[in-house]
Amino acid sequence: KNEVEQSPQNLTAQEGEFITINCSYSVGISALHWLQQHPGGGIVSLFMLSSGKKKHGRLIATINIQEKHSSLHITASHPRDSAVYICAVNAGNKLTFGGGTRVLVKP
Amino acid sequence: EAEVAQSPRYKITEKSQAVAFWCDPISGHATLYWYRQILGQGPELLVQFQDESVVDDSQLPKDRFSAERLKGVDSTLKIQPAELGDSAMYLCASSLNWRGGQGQFFGPGTRLTVL
C-alpha cells in the first residue's frame, strides 16, 4: 500500500462545477503539499499546510491531521484548471508523492 | 521571481548513449533534489543533496546513474548507458534546507525519450 493515496485518479468536470480531490496518508508528517502539473510541464506548488485550511483564489485546501486526510477543492472550475494535481507529504526529510489526479474541465 | 532552472527541456537519445541533465537551484537554497517521474505516476526521489554532500541516494540506480553538486550550487545528473526504461521526466527541486515542512520549488523538468 502506498504511503500517499489520492482519489479519484481521473476526474472530468464541466466548466463551473465544484471539484474535490482527496488525499490520504499513512505516515506522520510535518506538512502536506498540493502541487499542480500541466501536461508536459514542471510542477507548481499550490499549497503547503500543516493544519486547518488555506485559500488562494478559487482553490481551497484543507487538512485533518487526526484523520490523516486532506482535500483540494476547486470552485467555479475553468478549462485552464485542467492539469494533474499531486498530493505530497513531508515525512522526516523526505517528500513522498501520491500518484496524482488527472483533472479535465470541459467548456 | 526566483526559479529553478533546468536544461535541456527535452532530450531524445538512443539506448546505450550517455545523457546529462543540468539544474540550477534558487540562489541560497542548500538542498537540491533530483526526481524521476514516469508518465502517469508521481515523482520518485533519485538523490538529495545538502550543499555538496549526498544525503540520500538510496533510490538512485548507481550502476548507470550518477549525480554531482561539486560547489554546492548547480548540479548534474548523468545516465550512462541510457536504457529504454529511463524514458521519463527528470525534475529538479530545491529548498532552503532539508528540514521537514520547508517548501520545495520545482524546475520545469527535462523530458527524456530513449529510443
- d(CA A54, CA A42) in angstroms, rounded, equals 23
**Residue A45 is nearest to which of B45, B48, B105, comparing CB atoms?**
B105
Q: In chain A, count of helices (H) and strands (E)?
A: 0, 11
**Residue B103 is nearest to which of A42, A48, A98, comparing CB atoms?**
A48
The whole-number pLDDT of residue A43 equals 85
- With beta carbons under 8 A apart, name residues in chain A contacting B41: 99-100
- d(CA B93, CA B104) in angstroms, rounded, equals 6
pLDDT band at A17; cut points 50, 70, 90: very high
Cβ contact A42:A35 at 8 Å: no
The whole-number pLDDT of residue B99 equals 59
- With beta carbons under 8 A apart, name residues in chain A contacting B34: none
Question: CB–CB of A42 and B107 under 8 A?
Answer: yes
Alpha helices in A34-84 (DSSP H): none
pLDDT at A38 over 90: no
pLDDT at B80 over 80: yes
Q: Which candidate, A96, A102, A104, places its Cα nearest to that of A13? A: A104
Q: Which candidate, B30, B21, B26, places its Cα nearest to that of B71? A: B30
**CA A34-B6-B36 angle, 5° bins:** 55
pLDDT at A84 over 60: yes
